[in-house]
Amino acid sequence: MRIEVSRDAFPLAQVFTISRGSRTQADVLTVTLDGVARGECVPYARYGETLDSVAAQIEGLPATLTRESLQNLLPAGAARNSVDCAFWDLAAKRSGVRVWDLLGVDEPKPQVTAYTLSLDAPEAMEKQAMRHAKRPLLKIKLGTPDDMARLEAVRRGAPDAPIIVDANEGWTAEIYADLAPHLIRLGVQMVEQPLPAGDDDMLGEIVRPLPVCADESCHDRASLPGLKGKYDMVNIKLDKAGGLTEALALKEQAISEGYEIMIGCMVGSSLAMAPATILAQGAAFTDLDGPLLLAEDRPHPLLFDDAGVHPPDAALWG
């Protein structure tokens, strides 16, 4: 098995800001197996990952690697994700069938995806909301002391749009309890990771008047015991789970334990999103808008239209 890893940068259409900082481009790693199959990952500093550290993990893998052995050689995270997804692409190319055929599931159908509004001043977010008011689902990045003004501004800009919010661990239990009635008043359908991972026990003790989704608190199946009684939904991301193999298993177990499912992404190219279109089938919320935030994407990009995000062309992945 020949494993190659390269760095790619995709400029964003505009500066993208969350409570932790801003970026102007998506920096990703692309893994290629035997010169033909590919996978992409987005190393994430929040989880102690850098381009260098993740590349080193991948480059340290043995030439005798298989998709099955990979699951125990690397932990859940970006490195394992890129290689795991490349293995699925390789299996599809060698067999001449699509990945969903290998999995024994139906061809993925287009899924409505959220469109994320970058964190900004309230008046700027109102203008963003006005430009995207016709989208079927808006996601608002929050997690600052001025969130109420931002929420009101977005609702003014998009009075009829369904809204979900992501606090990115930026609130305290007191702030969330204070904001929750206003979230409901403004028609917010779900709140993602309101409290910091590891400091979210209060979610099990306070009233949750709208669904709360675990993002930073949920990586793989090993995360599920710690979520019980605190969350109603889990956000499954390939880069957190460590690939499509674990993400599929996590989805199945989470559903069996009564959680609703959200499928999310880091800011990456269509190659990073492609395997997640399989995961997104049947999810309560899909958030695979990474390519929509880019000024440039890969060749054969995912198709986004009024029906949502479509499964990948075989020339892209799988």
Catalytic residue among 93, 139, 230, 237: 237
Q: Catalytic site residue 127? A: no
Rg of the chain in Å (alpha carbons): 19
Span 146-198, pLDDT tens digits: 789 999 999 999 999 999 999 989 898 888 888 889 999 999 999 999 999 99
Average pLDDT over residues 233-247: 98
What's the longest Cα–Cα distance across the chain?
Answer: 57
Average per-residue pLDDT for the chain: 95
Cα atoms found within 13 Å of the Cα of residue 13, Cβ hemisphere only: 14
What the block records as the tokens of 177 is 């309890």
**273, 252 in Cβ contact below 8 A?**
no
Angle at 139 between CA 131 and CA 108, to 5 degrees: 100
**310, 278 in Cβ contact below 8 A?**
no
Q: Catalytic site residue 134? A: no
Query: For the whole prediction, is pTM greater than 0.75?
Result: yes
What the block records as the tokens of 98 is 């699509």
Span 47-85, pLDDT tens digits: 999 999 999 999 999 999 999 999 999 999 999 999 999
3-state secondary structure of 86: helix
Angle at 201 between CA 217 and CA 149, to 5 degrees: 75
Catalytic residue among 141, 230, 240, 251: 141
Find residue 305's DSSP bridge partners. Answer: 308
Place of tokens 């919320």: 285
Q: Could you please report the per-residue DSSP string of 27-48? A: EEEEEEETTTEEEEE---GGGT
What the block records as the tokens of 240 is 């957190």
- Where residue 20 falls among pLDDT bands split at 50, 70, 90? low
What the block records as the tokens of 311 is 């499964």
Q: Assess whether pLDDT exceeds 80 at residue 21.
A: no
Helix H or strand E encompassing 171: none
Span 266-300, pLDDT tens digits: 999 999 999 999 999 999 999 999 999 999 999 99
